[in-house]
Structure 1
């Protein structure tokens, strides 16, 4: 690479960093909150519930709005309060009783450090994509094993399949063992890639959104899998089919591992 190209690359990286710096400076102003042991639990719950609430509202409106039913995978199904409340209660209970003590322990051993500089935009995007690919692979292996080994399924994963027609708040309706497994994958990928704290936050937001969208039961024209080309993303119908048939579509987001191992099934052949 000649000096001119290196100079252009440096300018591009610097501009990407300058683009994120004001945002990072605003977040660092809340440093006391971000560095506290309460922040990870607060951030996780508020992001998750915030993403779920629009779909809960849609489920309430769906029986009265025919247009919505066009985009609902199961048009005649709407979760009742007796299904929604236990899912929400399970999420809150596990975060308070199990996740918060682990967060407190991690905070005591390794307090969060907030660097002064924001990450470069390209670095942030590339790390988020890599974290998603790693998480997808790890969860695919974990998920496949738990469907192939009866003891693992009964002990850790069966709870998540109690709702054969998924809805948004059922996303985190899972055993504490499954919750910690997914949290471990999430945390280790960020540490492995040495992600900037802003990148880690971005990855967590994207990961939570994709998981909620996959369980939402709605397949809109603007759903993520329709925005990603070449069929790389499975989408809502892809994961919904797994909940009804159990023996296919084990990857949470991407489709390549299911294609390679022959466990990919299209919702059109349901």
Structure 2
């Protein structure tokens, strides 16, 4: 029996929830806010606790709670006004099929990694294009650069076009690879976490980029520098595309 079978059997037992037209939006929002929560706690503590503040990438910055609410409001607006109608149409045109058997763990891990690599390339190309073409930057991407100092809730501070584009990349990638629904779900969760961690504004001892050797994964320092300078580090996660394009910068550069 596959190692993931008990988890998948439990989820299939709640198939009415998984197959609901509102599930993708509720899942996305709840996963996103859950990932933001620990970093919001750090933001609360950093103003009073030097031990926390030492890990901030921009130590002079602090989170304005009015701006945090503005970010949250835009996220809710995009999900309700734009993402929900799209997921409703997808639910109608392509009903979710839930197989009874879970995929092997090895296949899940391999496909999640490939999904991340493919999404990283798609986002890099999209991101670079929207910085190199002034009209695209002004019309669509500039909203995301409202804040030069990142915090967790700035992750989804984006206009409708950017939200839909990146959402499309994340949704279509596992479909192209023929992934099992459980693999899709785990990829979505990991992708949301890594995206929030990219924008968290902290370089913590347990950060993902410290767990990946040889500087292959940029993480929060990589992306925070992009928001600070705006002319480097266009890939969301890995560093190889920026290295090949000559757009890679580090804090030491």
Equivalent-residue separation in structure 2 for 1:41 and 1:264 (angstroms): 34
Equivalent-residue separation in structure 1 for 2:19 and 2:241 (angstroms): 37
Residue 70 of structure 1 deviates from its aligned partner by 1.2
Residue 244 of structure 1 deviates from its aligned partner by 1.0
- Contact 1:166 1:243 (C-alpha < 8 Å) held by counterparts: yes
Equivalent-residue separation in structure 2 for 1:58 and 1:246 (angstroms): 25
Max Rg structure: 1
Residue 76 of structure 1 deviates from its aligned partner by 2.5
Among candidates 29, 50, 74, match of residue 58 of structure 2: 74
Any gaps of 5 or more consecutive residues in structure 1? Answer: 1-13
Q: Does 1:63 align with 2:29?
A: no
The residue that corresponds to 2:182 in the other structure is: 198
Q: Does 1:258 align with 2:238?
A: no
RMSD: 0.8
Among candidates 218, 224, 227, match of residue 208 of structure 2: 224
SS at match of 2:252: helix
Q: Does 1:88 align with 2:50?
A: no
Residue 211 of structure 1 deviates from its aligned partner by 0.5
The residue that corresponds to 1:43 in the other structure is: 27
Segments ≥4 residues shifted beyond 3 Å: none
Equivalent-residue separation in structure 1 for 2:124 and 2:196 (angstroms): 17
TM-score between the two structures when normalised by the length of structure 2: 0.98
Equivalent-residue separation in structure 2 for 1:221 and 1:56 (angstroms): 17
Residue 74 of structure 1 deviates from its aligned partner by 1.5
The residue that corresponds to 2:82 in the other structure is: 98
Residue 81 of structure 1 deviates from its aligned partner by 1.3
SS at match of 1:222: coil
Among candidates 131, 135, 146, match of residue 162 of structure 1: 146
Equivalent-residue separation in structure 2 for 1:66 and 1:125 (angstroms): 38
Any gaps of 5 or more consecutive residues in structure 2? Answer: none
Structure 2 counterparts to residues 75-224 of structure 1, below 5 A? 75-224=59-208
- Contact 1:37 1:107 (C-alpha < 8 Å) held by counterparts: yes
The residue that corresponds to 1:11 in the other structure is: none
SS at match of 1:73: coil
Equivalent-residue separation in structure 1 for 2:242 and 2:33 (angstroms): 30
Among candidates 233, 240, 252, match of residue 249 of structure 1: 233
TM-score between the two structures when normalised by the length of structure 1: 0.92
Q: Does 1:233 align with 2:213?
A: no
- Contact 1:60 1:78 (C-alpha < 8 Å) held by counterparts: no
